Structures are given as structure tokens and as C-alpha cells.
Structure 1
Amino acid sequence: MNISIKPLPLLILLAMIVVACNTKPVSVEKHAKRVIKGLYTYGPEMKSFTDCEEGNEYWVADSAKTLELAYSNFNFEKPYEPVYIEVECNVIKSDSLMVSADFDSTMVVTKLLKISKEIPDGPCN
């Protein structure tokens, strides 16, 4: 009895094993909710946030639908007036096909904790 092993299926199986062993697991921490504090600016063409502690700038997506409403309740005469906010959010990579592409990351607000015209002393000022 002559057993011959075909090299092509063996190479494919070997390649699948190598690829499976080299893939890195997706980090859950990257998309974990966190509380973040900083300055929020809103207007017709811009929704941005600057993290006071780290200085990072984010595009803002308001999934809670409360941040934009609370901002508009201040009745500013001009758009783009910064306010201090504390929010619960997720930070994700920005979509390259939208305006948010100018920002590396998008902050998806899930809960508004605090909003104030008064900007506290410290790194935000």
C-alpha cells in the first residue's frame, strides 16, 4: 500500500494554522465606557470635545440625545461657545468618510453627567 500526501492541502492547512496563531484578540478596554471631563463646543458644522487632562480632541456623537439639547438650552447668542461637560462615553475610531475624519477618534456620549457654562479652574482654563 502506497500512501502519498498531497503537498497543496498540507500547505493550506499549515498557512491557516499560522494565521490563526498570529491574530491578536480585540481589546475590550478600548471600547469600554468611561467618564471624561472637558470642553464641548457645538455649532452647525462642528461638534467637538477637548479632554482637559490629556488635551486630546474628539468629534462628538450624542447617542444619548441629551447633550445637544442641554447645550441649546443655554441660549447662546453665537454658536461654538465652549461649555464644561462631564459625560459617560465610548471612544471609537472616526469614520474616514464623514466630517469626523478630521479627528482621530469619535467620542460617543452615552450619558450626560454635568454641563456648565462655568469652566472650572485647572487644566481646562
Structure 2
Amino acid sequence: MNISIKSLPLLMLCSIVILACNTKPVSVEKKNIRVIKGLYSYGPEIKSFTDCEEGNEYWVADSAKTLELAYNNFNFEKPYEPVYIEVECHIIKSDSLIIAADFDSTMVVTKLLKITKEIPDGPCN
């Protein structure tokens, strides 16, 4: 009987730890994911995006690792040719120590939905 009473606090502590480890918190990045459409330009020094609807300009970080590859597959003769893209992304404050500091915000691409050389009529054109 004495042994079970002494081990009760240890058992409760282990239960709390196990329950705490099983919860899956939603990260801030996951909550702020949004679909954004606009013009993307890529070259040796600049990766930029202009939101067609709001006109905001962003530095681009390609966490999906598919955007730059898809852009390069167009085989443009010159860098920085704009293409129309639709992506899932979240926006963060730009790092002030790198070239992205020229942009207020960085668009972190999590999924490429569409990329085309044909820029649609409307605010993007």
C-alpha cells in the first residue's frame, strides 16, 4: 500500500506529460495561409512578387521548392520576365540583413497552384 501511494504523484506527472505531448498546436504560419495571385519575377539577384489586387510588392521565399523550378522550365532568354502565378503562402516581415530588406514583407510560398506566361486581363495587365 505504501508503494502505491508514493508512486501516485509520479504516475500523475507522467500522465500530464503524455497528454501535453499529444496535443498538436496549430502553428502561426498554418493559420495565416492564404491564396494570392499576381506577377512573379525571378533572376540572379531578385525574386519578387506583385499582388495584382492590392499592388503590394513582396520578396519571395520558395519554401515549396517548386516555384523557381517551374519558372526556370519556361527557359526565358532574359531573367526577370514576369509570369502570372497563384500560390498558397503566408506573409512575414522581411529580414533587414539581406537583399529582402528592400521589401517590407516576404511572401513565403508553401504551394504553387498555377504558373503561366499568359498574364490575364485585369489589374495584372
SS of residue in 1 equivalent to 2:78? coil
Q: Measure, in 1, the Cα distance between the counterparts of 2:102 and 2:79.
A: 20
Q: Structure 1 or 2: larger helix share? A: 2
Q: CA RMSD in A?
A: 1.2
SS of residue in 2 equivalent to 1:122? coil
Runs of 4+ off more than 4 Å: none
Q: Measure, in 2, the Cα distance between the counterparts of 1:77 and 1:87.
A: 24
SS of residue in 2 equivalent to 1:100? helix
Cα offset for 1:105? Answer: 0.1
SS of residue in 1 equivalent to 2:84? strand
Q: Measure, in 2, the Cα distance between the counterparts of 1:71 and 1:63.
A: 15
Cα offset for 1:41? Answer: 0.2
Which aligned pairs between 1:80-95 and structure 2 lie closer than 5 A? 80-95=80-95
Q: What TM-score comes out, normalization by structure 1 length? A: 0.76
> What's the counterpart of residue 55 of structure 2?
55
Cα offset for 1:89? Answer: 0.1
Give identity over the alignment, percent: 88
Cα offset for 1:38? Answer: 0.0
The answer to whether residue 40 in structure 2 is matched with residue 40 in structure 1 is yes
Q: What TM-score comes out, normalization by structure 2 length? A: 0.76
Q: Which runs of 5+ in 1 are unaligned?
A: 1-27
Q: Measure, in 2, the Cα distance between the counterparts of 1:75 and 1:98.
A: 27
SS of residue in 2 equivalent to 1:71? helix
Q: Measure, in 1, the Cα distance between the counterparts of 2:46 and 2:103.
A: 11
> What's the counterpart of residue 114 of structure 1?
114
Cα offset for 1:118? Answer: 0.1
Q: Measure, in 1, the Cα distance between the counterparts of 2:42 and 2:75.
A: 12
Q: Measure, in 2, the Cα distance between the counterparts of 1:81 and 1:58.
A: 16
- Number of equivalent positions: 97
Per-residue displacement from partner, 1:21-47 (whole Å, max 9, x unpaired)? xxxxxxx59x60000000000000000
SS of residue in 2 equivalent to 1:44? coil
Which aligned pairs between 1:26-37 and structure 2 lie closer than 5 A? 32-37=32-37
